[in-house]
Structure 1
Amino acid sequence: MKPSVSCVFVCHDGDGRILLARRSVRARDEPGTWDCGAGALEFGETFESAVTREVGEEYAAAPLAIRQLGVRNVLRADSHWVAVVFAVLVDPAEVRIAEPHKFDELGWFTPQALPSPLHSQLAETLALFG
């Protein structure tokens, strides 16, 4: 199995809150957990294009600013992802669930008051968000 590249994004409002989505029962993994967004990099895409596409697909919003935070090597029992992590400024008024088969709730949270349970990979991603 070869590694895949994922663009992981922590959407924020510029005022200290981050956007998290609760994964629905039909989510690919860890249903019921809260997570930031992510999506696979497609052939020929720039990182910024992938993030813009994925934020639109997941949250129906257009990024106002995109900043690369770092890279994580994510090894799981059945997959290996190279996760390029971004901070993405969005307008909270634009955000909605655009993929109801993946998510059943959205919420804005401060890093000090996160919901529970969290996706197993979220803590390491938020450490890069700082």
Structure 2
Amino acid sequence: MSEPGRDHVGVGVGAYVLNGRQEVFLALRGPEARNESGCWEFPGGTVEFGETLEAAVRREMREEYGMDVTVERLLGVDDHMTEGQHWVSVSFLARHEGGTPEIREPGKCTAIGWFGEDELPQPLSLASEATLRARRA
């Protein structure tokens, strides 16, 4: 079976999710993450065939963290090439609408949290660095 990101270019989405206190949600990539284990990220995941980008963001946030988000707008698109993988990473600005975030895939994620926009943990994943640049532009 063909593996996205390795056998062909993969398409992933991520979201810069803000809560009502203007804090941003981040997750720490765990040992079972596809790449960049040990880096903090604005979470997301792989787009499934026939799924819109925005629907993928909403699905990934529900599946991986148990929260509902509203996607507000596109932030940017970036080539994410690392560890022999190639992804097109599409990032969005989103708002937390409900659900208390929890880690639902503990191998892929080892910590989560809400952070002030000027107090983000380090290191950030490459795709998250691109998202942050787009957010600040």
TM-score by length of 1: 0.86
Match of 1:81 in 2: 87
Answer yes or no: is 1:48 the counterpart of 2:93: no
| Per-residue deviation, 1:108 | 0.9
Distance 1:16 1:61, change over 3 A: same
| Residues 3, 65 of structure 1: alpha-carbon distance in 2 compared, 3 angstrom cutoff | closer
Query: Hey, what's the Cα distance between the residues in 2 that align with 1:100 and 1:121?
Result: 21
2:132 aligned to which of 112, 126, 130: 126
Pair 104,77 (structure 1): closer, same or farther in 2 beyond 3 Å: closer
Residue from 40, 52, 55 that aligns with 1:34: 40
Structure 2 counterpart of 1:100: 106
Residue 39 to residue 95, structure 1, CA distance change in 2 (3 Å): same
Task: Provide the identity percentage.
Answer: 35
Structure 2: gaps spanning 5 or more residues:
1-6
Alpha-carbon shift at residue 31 of structure 1 (Å): 2.2
Counterpart residue number, 1:19: 25
Are the structure 2 counterparts of residues 35 and 72 from structure 1 closer, same or farther at C-alpha, using a change threshold of 3 Å? same
Residues 73-116 of structure 1: CA deviation (Å, up to 9, x unaligned):
22224111111111111147521112112111111112211112
What is the rounded CA distance, in whole Å, between the counterparts of 1:70 and 1:118 in structure 2? 17
**How has the CA–CA distance of structure 1 residues 121 and 51 changed in structure 2, closer, same or farther, with 3 Å as cutoff?**
closer
Is the Cα–Cα contact under 8 Å of residues 13 and 92 in structure 1 kept in the other structure? no
Alignment RMSD (CA, Å)? 1.9
**Would you say the 8 A contact 1:59–1:97 is kept in 2?**
yes
What TM-score results when the alignment is normalised by the length of structure 2? 0.82
Distance in 2 between the 1:22 and 1:77 partners?
18
Q: Structure 1 unaligned runs (5+)?
A: none
- What is the alpha-carbon distance in structure 2 between the residues aligned to residue 50 and residue 67 of structure 1? 14
Point out the more displaced range, 1-10 or 80-89. 1-10
Residue 15 of structure 2: aligned partner: 9
